[in-house]
A and B are shown apart, each in its own frame.
Chain A
Amino acid sequence: MTEAAQHKRPNYMGIWVGLAALTLVELGVAFLPWSKQVIILLLVGLAVWKALMVALYFMHLRFEGNRMRIFAIAPLPLTVIIVIAVLTEYVW
């Protein structure tokens, strides 16, 4: 039996419905007559929410040990570093 099998099984159908619903919300938000900054913030927030649902429940990161979680998120700071480092070219 693998590690992921040792926990209570998530409600996969519920997560699927949630992802589909959030996609519909995204489509609605993208065309709202609001300021571009607000729409971008909302869309990025919704995308991160959906990505977390996939990672935590479909990829079972929620049920993995801390070592695996750290292993999975370790590359993410590089995203911030690369964007900030190169954005400085436009800022200064």
Chain B
Amino acid sequence: MAHAAVMQPPPKREVGADVYNEKLGMWVFLGSEVMFFTALIGSYIILRFGNPDAWTAPGAILNIPITAVNTFLLICSSMTMVKAFAAAQDGDQQRLKLYLVATVLIGATFVGVQAYEYTQLVHHGFVPSGYLVGGELAERAAAGELPASVGIYGSTFYTMTGFHGFHVTMGVLCMIFVTWKAFRGKYTATDHRGVEVIGLYWHFVDLVWIILFTIVYLI
């Protein structure tokens, strides 16, 4: 009996997700990120639905032109990232390095513009707790031009855009590492997993910003 069992053919191997481990790991991570941002966006929608008077019309407090430029920058960085991936597939080291450096620079510019936006908002008196006492926006609110209290607006705005900015910053740091490896010739036409995996993260960050730009700035 035992001999017969030994002669049995081995069980058929389970077919996995048909991707390499790093990529599968990144998708698992991105799945958790979807849930993270879902919680933030869901909470935002619910708070806004329940407190419609605490929000202003688009552009009344937030600077839409500068954020629109930042949105365009992030879209450009996604394009340079995917071009870097295509260059890696082709084994074109020069274009790979060029596009990765461009992605790093554009990503860093996005973070810089967001920091500038925050300083301008604070300068005008819009902080996470609402209006800054004695600030320009507080005076406009007192004159009836803006809602009397925007504490919940400020806290949700800074929480959502702040977490996204943190993700972009982490992406830029990881991208610098990938770029450094690219300059050392670590990526080839047959093995460029690092470029593809960081690219997935970068595009996801872009995708989240597309949603945030619409619901936080334009609606």
Q: Which residues of B contact A23 (CB under 8 A)?
A: 68, 71-72, 75
Inter-subunit contact B42/A82 (CB<8 Å): yes
Inter-subunit contact A40/B219 (CB<8 Å): yes
B204 contacts partner chain A, Cβ-Cβ < 8 Å: yes
A23 to B81, CA, bound (A): 19
Known contacts A54-B78, A75-B31, A75-B34: does B42 contact A26 (CB below 8 Å)? no
B160 contacts partner chain A, Cβ-Cβ < 8 Å: no
Interface residue range, chain A = 35 or more
Interface size on B, residues (CB 8 A): 54
Inter-subunit contact B31/A68 (CB<8 Å): no
* SS class, residues of chain B in contact with chain A: helix
Known contacts A3-B19, A71-B17: does B35 contact A26 (CB below 8 Å)? no
User: B109 → chain A, closest Cβ, in Å?
Assistant: 16
Q: Which residues of A contact B199 (CB under 8 A)?
A: 58-59
Q: Which residues of A contact B215 (CB under 8 A)?
A: 44, 47
Inter-subunit contact A74/B83 (CB<8 Å): no
Known contacts A12-B83, A90-B46: does B207 contact A71 (CB below 8 Å)? no
- Map CB proximity to A onto B202-219 as digits: 1 under 8 Å, 0 otherwise: 011011001101110011
Q: Restricting to A1-40, which residues have a CB under 8 Å from any CB of B?
A: 1-5, 9, 12-13, 15-16, 19-20, 23, 26-27, 29-31, 39-40
Inter-subunit contact B72/A71 (CB<8 Å): no
**One of B112-120, B169-177, B190-198 contacting the partner:** B190-198
- Map CB proximity to B onto A40-59 as digits: 1 under 8 Å, 0 otherwise: 10011011001100110011
A83 to B46, CA, bound (A): 7
**Residues of chain A at the chain B interface (Cβ within 8 Å):** 1-5, 9, 12-13, 15-16, 19-20, 23, 26-27, 29-31, 39-40, 43-44, 46-47, 50-51, 54-55, 58-59, 64-65, 67-68, 71-72, 74-76, 78-79, 82-83, 86-87, 89-90
**Residues of chain B at the chain A interface (Cβ within 8 Å):** 17-20, 23, 27, 30-32, 34-35, 38-39, 41-43, 45-46, 49-50, 58-59, 64, 68, 71-72, 75-76, 78-79, 81-83, 85-86, 89, 189-190, 192-193, 196, 199-200, 203-204, 206-207, 210-211, 213-215, 218-219
A sample of 9 cross-chain residue pairs with beta-carbon separation below 8 angstroms, ordered by A number, consists of A19-B78, A46-B214, A47-B213, A54-B207, A58-B82, A58-B199, A65-B18, A68-B19, A87-B46
